[in-house]
Structure 1
Amino acid sequence: MTERKKIGLPARPAASPAGDEPAQQRFKPPVRGTAPRQRPTAAQAEQARRERAERQAQPAYPDRHERSERPARGELRTEHRPRPAQPRPTQAPTPPAPVREDDGRVRLSKLMSEQGLASRREADTWIEQGWVRVDGEVVSELGVRIFPHQHISIDPAARDQQAQRVTILLHKPIGYVSGQAEDGHEPAVVLITPDNHWKDDGTPIRFNRAHLRKLAPAGRLDIDSTGMLVLTQDGRVAKQLIGEDTEIEKEYLVRVQWLADPEAQDVSAVVPAEVIDRLRHGLHLDDRALKPAKVSWQNEHQLRFVLKEGRKRQIRRMCELVGLKVVGLKRVRMGRIPLGKLPLGQWRYLGPHERF
């Protein structure tokens, strides 16, 4: 049988009586990874406090151009370190701004309206149907712009359609409104019936119910006024009569009273001449100067007005500004077309060769 070797630890020296063995020879178990910690002296602690106070007084981020000393181990680094540049996000390229056509070209429909070929709405319809040519080429796209000197031609089909549109002259009575019904009053268009068609109408046009579609007033008359009212399906006629740049004259006979002497038998004799001068030129309505007007005495009670504009209740408001009261108003002419012998409440067609 093999003899086992006994391994034993060295025997710990026996404790000697207190005071017999020196302190440095006493046995102490070793502590791994640590060193004996020495307590700082009072002078060292005071020096550490002064150094901490100095570090706290210095700026956290000194100027980048100043080189700071390398801090001691365990101290806070205070030198400025620039941040690395961040890559900018890529952006989609901005599309170029659309080029404006400020080279003198004009919208085709506007040019057709200015040349009197059609109204703008009518022109757009013709363009969509391919009835318009510019320098011989068909234009069927809305919004096309051309130079004013370019030649515009219209297909005969458009002319035929345009010729079928009618314009009606009505002698409007008092009590009817020019446009849509309002305040219980009927519109003047209800008078356009076969029974009210003037028997002396010399035009070859015969009444058709289709003539009532899209029939609109071109210039209004107050409910308390009478005289010529134009109703039309033709946008060119409407633009000619009531467009912003119209030069068409409208003539009225206006019966007045002088408010300073309402019982005067001869109004023309009591109204000062300067009042008539103010009616001719110098008045303002709605903060806008009125165009010059022709105003003269027709008889002792009536004034004759000839205007080239038609603001709302214009003649009545003009007279109020100078001390006159309108007691009767009748429109007797528009452009070259007089009311003539057309009876009150009756109507007739504008002839093919009549022009305002």
Structure 2
Amino acid sequence: MTEPLRLSKRMSELGLCSRREADEWIARGWVRVDGQVVSELGSKVLPSQRITVERQAQAQQARRVTVLLHKPVGYVSGQAEDGYKPAVVLVKPENRWSADPSPEQFHPAQLKSLVPAGRLDIDSVGLLVLTQDGRIAKKLIGEDTSIEKEYLVRVQYTKPGRLPDADLKKLNHGLWMDGKPLLPAKVRWQNDDQLSFTLREGKKRQIRRMCEMVGLKVVGLKRVRIGRVKLGELPPGQWRYLAPDEQF
């Protein structure tokens, strides 16, 4: 016999929405199981049962925005900490990129529940995704995400000579962190002092720690791509909307 699951968990598994959204929709009576409205939080369903959502839920989800920000140094990705401002404070009309092709109009309500899907250290720059859409957040930072993130990393070698090829190979595969082997990465030289890193995971300060393990000091780190979405020409401190036809 298959075990019943919490309805909100099952909705998240099916990619309908995030668990938080599911709870909100359930409470509003917007969720049906086998055609019957289920409005009690914590309700359970069998995997074989059919879950549908009302049009109001789909309309609410369609209004949720995703913002691409070129985060500068000195801003934290999430909550304000140690006197530093969160990156979301940059999302205001005067900082919107003048070349943003999206027809979306800015409204202060878009700042509600606009949260980072992934993080960049305070001293790192580049592409930061802020979203109201739980599906996108799950896709980018869920445990089973396979979406690549690409970084340009300026480094200094702290030992004599150049980084040995064997250590470059270790950066690609073979390092351990926090007691676990890291997933294979793609690491290659861009020029004499800059490496390109492409990762499918995002442990805290991962690139800086990987570099330290082979004697490299990171002097600059910039995220330039998440999946198929590139930072492109977006200027530092400015933002644009994720276009309807853009997919990570």
TM-score category, normalised to shorter length: over 0.9
Kindly provide the CA deviation profile for residues 83-141 of structure 1, in whole angstroms up to 9, marking residues without a partner as x. xxxxxxxxxxxxxxxxxxx6333222111101110000110111111111122222222
Residue 236, structure 1, aligned to residue 119, structure 2: no
Counterpart-to-counterpart distance in 2, 1:247 and 1:150: 28
TM-score, with structure 1 as normaliser:
0.67
Q: Which residue does the alignment assign to 2:37?
A: 138
Q: Which residue does the alignment assign to 2:203?
A: 311
Letter in 2 for 1:345: G
Counterpart-to-counterpart distance in 2, 1:286 and 1:210: 40
**Contact between 2:2 and 2:47, CA under 8 Å: does it hold in 1?**
no
How does 1:1-356 map onto structure 2 within 5 Å?
103-261=2-160, 270-356=162-248
**What 5-or-longer segments of structure 1 have no aligned partner?**
1-101, 265-269
Counterpart-to-counterpart distance in 2, 1:120 and 1:184: 31
Where relative contact order (Cα < 8 A, 6+ residues apart) is larger, the structure is 2
SS at match of 2:94: helix
Cα offset, 1:148, TM superposition: 2.0
Kindly provide the CA deviation profile for residues 243-271 of structure 1, in whole angstroms up to 9, marking residues without a partner as x. 1111111110111111113xx7xxxxx21
Counterpart-to-counterpart distance in 1, 2:31 and 2:245: 25
Cα offset, 1:220, TM superposition: 0.7
Counterpart-to-counterpart distance in 2, 1:299 and 1:154: 51
Cα offset, 1:175, TM superposition: 1.2
TM-score, with structure 2 as normaliser:
0.96
Deviates more, 1:286-295 or 1:316-325: 286-295
Counterpart-to-counterpart distance in 1, 2:11 and 2:82: 39
Letter in 2 for 1:197: R
Counterpart-to-counterpart distance in 2, 1:239 and 1:185: 26
Higher strand share: 2
Deviates more, 1:223-232 or 1:282-291: 282-291
Cα offset, 1:143, TM superposition: 2.2
Letter in 2 for 1:335: G
Percent identical residues: 65
Kindly provide the CA deviation profile for residues 136-172 of structure 1, in whole angstroms up to 9, marking residues without a partner as x. 2222222222222322211000011111211110001
Kindly provide the CA deviation profile for residues 228-253 of structure 1, in whole angstroms up to 9, marking residues without a partner as x. 01111111111111111111111101
Cα offset, 1:352, TM superposition: 2.0
Counterpart-to-counterpart distance in 1, 2:23 and 2:74: 37
Q: Which has the larger radius of gyration?
A: 1
Cα offset, 1:204, TM superposition: 1.4
Deviates more, 1:231-240 or 1:318-327: 231-240
Kindly provide the CA deviation profile for residues 173-201 of structure 1, in whole angstroms up to 9, marking residues without a partner as x. 11111112222222111111111101111
Kindly provide the CA deviation profile for residues 286-342 of structure 1, in whole angstroms up to 9, marking residues without a partner as x. 212211111111222111111111111000000001111111100000111111111
Letter in 1 for 2:24: T
SS at match of 1:298: strand
Counterpart-to-counterpart distance in 2, 1:146 and 1:198: 45
**What 5-or-longer segments of structure 2 have no aligned partner?**
none
